[in-house]
Amino acid sequence: MHQLSISIICFALLALGGCVNWPVGGHGGMAEHYQGTLTPVMPDQPLGPEHGLRFDLDLARQHLDILILEGAELCFPATVIQARQRQNDITRELYGNLDFDAANNLVVQRKLLARLERQLDYVKQQSVCILPITEGQEKPGDIGKHIYDLLNGDNQFSADSPELNPKYVGQLAEAAQLLRNQPGYHLRIIGHPDTLERPEYNRKLSLQRAKKVGRYLQVMGLPTERILVDAVGPDHPLLATDDKQTHTQRINRRVSIELIEAPPLPQTTRK
């Protein structure tokens, strides 16, 4: 009887609403595909913080577009992929009225774009450019995106623990193998806490988590000089919520890993 009731409800929902259109895997939402849906500022409307954030997002988007036109996607494809991903994140946050999260991400985005611009200026002056493309890739950055996804998936931690979960260890091993063949990529590992403990304790625990990830990558063959470890406090959560339940805060207990593409050294010609 219970099964029959469920079947009737499902049939009714299909009849009324049709099939469900789920978000594209990995995006977590669809707002980035409809960036024009962000409400514009009307002439008689008072300005609020959200309008300034949208203006900053437009400037950052234009900045990235210019850098891509100047060759950033060819020389530093992984960085461009990260910038696009964060741009999508900011769009979703603004669409969901998560202004604080969007503001934090905009600060990070501006720093990333400034670094990308400096790196691009350098390679232009030196007339060198890295192209980390391997056989079978469709476009620059495919390998960087794959590595980035491995490093930033299933990267959560249990409460009050710096221990890595087995699935993440397997992904780190695969990423390390790929990184050994991509010497132009360096890593910045950032530990993040939840908001349940004391700030001082949380930051210390976050640093332990980041160091643990870095240690695993070193054991798997990645040189120490290619790894930078850092941590932040509970004021930069991935999920801003008042819910103090441990399972809700799990998404905040994580490491985030940036791929940093080091500018190549100019090639010297032998006489």
What tens digit of pLDDT does each residue of 95-145 get? 888 888 888 889 889 998 998 898 888 887 776 665 544 445 556 567 888
- The average pLDDT across 249-264 equals 81
- Evaluate whether residue 27 is within a structural domain: no
Domain limit, last residue, from 105, 129, 153:
129
- Evaluate whether residue 25 is within a structural domain: no
- Evaluate whether residue 93 is within a structural domain: yes
Q: What is the pLDDT of residue 240?
A: 62
Domain limit, last residue, from 79, 105, 129:
129
Q: Can you give the pTM of this predicted structure? A: 0.60
Give the chain's domain count: 2
- Evaluate whether residue 227 is within a structural domain: yes
Structure tokens at 69: 């036109």
> Mean pLDDT of all residues in the chain?
75
Q: What is the pLDDT of residue 270?
A: 42
Ranges 82-91, 96-105, 147-156, 237-246: which has the least confidence:
237-246
- Tell me, yes or no, whether 73 and 111 share the same domain: yes
Can you give the residue range of the structural domain that contains 261? Answer: 135-265
- Tell me, yes or no, whether 148 and 222 share the same domain: yes
